[in-house]
Chain A
Amino acid sequence: MKTIFVKAFSEFPGPRYRNLGPSSGQEFREEILIPAIKQYGAHKLIINLDGTCGYGSSFLEEAFGGLLRDRVVTPEEASVLVGNLVSEEDPSLVDEIREYIADESTRGS
């Protein structure tokens, strides 16, 4: 299993899109998540959300919901990925990402 620490990407996760500011959800998805999924597979990734100074919902939606919109992962793979999310500091983050994945799966089907 490969663990990705979001805090290694940025302690201050930013806005939704790159053009809105640094450390965006889009940047995290394109630079970190997609390469890792391609290298290790969605089922072998653990994403640790702890250690940052807080998340905006746009970052979370774009980073994780965007995986389904871009068809990087299937809804099943996305569910596995969400199952491997770690957030000791704020468990509501995992629930929120789960909702974005579910919304995007419903929209896509």
Chain B
Amino acid sequence: MNPQGDLEGVVEACSDPHWTTIAEFVMRWVVALGGWGVAFFLWKLRRDQAKRIADHVEVNKAIDSALEQIEKFETSVLEFWSDPQSKILSEQLASHMAACAFYSSQIKNLCPVREYPSKELLDVRRTATMNMEQESRGLDSQKNRLGRFVKLVAKLRKADIYQKRPFTG
């Protein structure tokens, strides 16, 4: 046994140009692949964040459209019921209401965690359109309905689905 002789053999084997070339080759690939991996990870991170920002912007746009539609609907309903001479047609009220539901569905589609305001929408529709073709119109005869309607629209606007939230990344 000659420990010193064995050690020299190992050192010799490791310093063999063949092995260092292979080790260098492997290291280069590891570094290159690692670099690609990091680059891909960062690209994916950035892409996901860009998508989240775009979704957030879309949701806010849909909320704006929905609130605008609710406002138009409110104006039409108030005029329809308070003014017997109003040129607003009952069909317009039904159509405006459908548009409110459409924009609310858009928000729900973009952001499924938000709850569709079904109860609020049906209460508003019922108050605005029930017997709209047959009941007499005018402030005196429809005062209760108008008061109830204004309150229900305010409640609808406060529904969670129409609330804008800050972007959290």
| A interface residue numbers (CB < 8 A to B) | 12-17, 20-21, 52-58, 61, 89-93, 95-96, 99
Q: List the 7 closest pairs (A to B, CB-CB), nearest first.
A: A54-B98, A54-B94, A90-B101, A15-B133, A56-B129, A92-B121, A96-B122
Q: Are B93 and A56 in contact (CB under 8 A)?
A: yes
Which of A17, A61, A96 has the largest count of B CB atoms less than 10 A from its CB?
A96
Contact check, B95 vs A58: say whether CB atoms are below 8 A apart.
Answer: no
Among candidates B91, B117, B133, residue contacting A12 with C-beta atoms closer than 8 Å: B91
Give the shortest distance, in Å, between A92 (CB) and chain B (any CB): 4
Tell me if B29 counts as interface (CB < 8 A to partner A): no
**Per-position 1/0 for B104-133, Cβ under 8 A of A:** 010000000000111101100110011111
Using Cβ atoms and an 8 Å threshold, which residues of chain A touch B21?
none
Please tell me if the beta carbons of B122 and A92 are within 8 angstroms of each other in the complex. yes
Given contacts A53-B94, A95-B118, A95-B119, contact A58 B131 (CB under 8 A): yes
Interface residues on B, range: 20 to 34
Q: Which of B118, B131, B134 contacts A91 (CB 8 A)?
A: B118
In the complex, whether B102 has a CB less than 8 A from a CB of chain A is yes
Contact A90 B130 (CB under 8 A): no
B135 to chain A, nearest CB (A): 10
CA distance A73 to B125 in the complex (A): 26
Within 8 Å CB of A52, what residues of B?
98
A89 and B100 CA atoms in complex are apart in Å by 11
- List the B residue with the shortest CB-CB distance to A88: B105
**Chain A at the B interface: SS class:** loop
**B142 sits at the interface (CB 8 A):** no
Question: How close is B151's CB to chain A, nearest CB, in angstroms?
Answer: 17
**In the complex, which residues of chain B have a beta carbon less than 8 angstroms from the beta carbon of A12?**
91
A15 close to B102 (CB less than 8 A): no
Q: Does B90 reach chain A (CB closer than 8 Å)?
A: yes
On chain A, the residues within 8 Å of B102 by CB distance are 89-90
Please state if A92 and B125 are interface contacts (CB–CB under 8 Å).
yes
- Are B133 and A56 touching (Cβ within 8 A)? yes
Contacts of A55 in B (CB 8 A): 94, 97-98, 125, 129
A90 to B33, CA, bound (A): 51
**Min CB–CB distance B99 → chain A (angstroms):** 8
Residues B133 and A20 in contact, CB atoms below 8 Å apart: yes
Are B95 and A53 in touch, CB under 8 angstroms?
A: yes
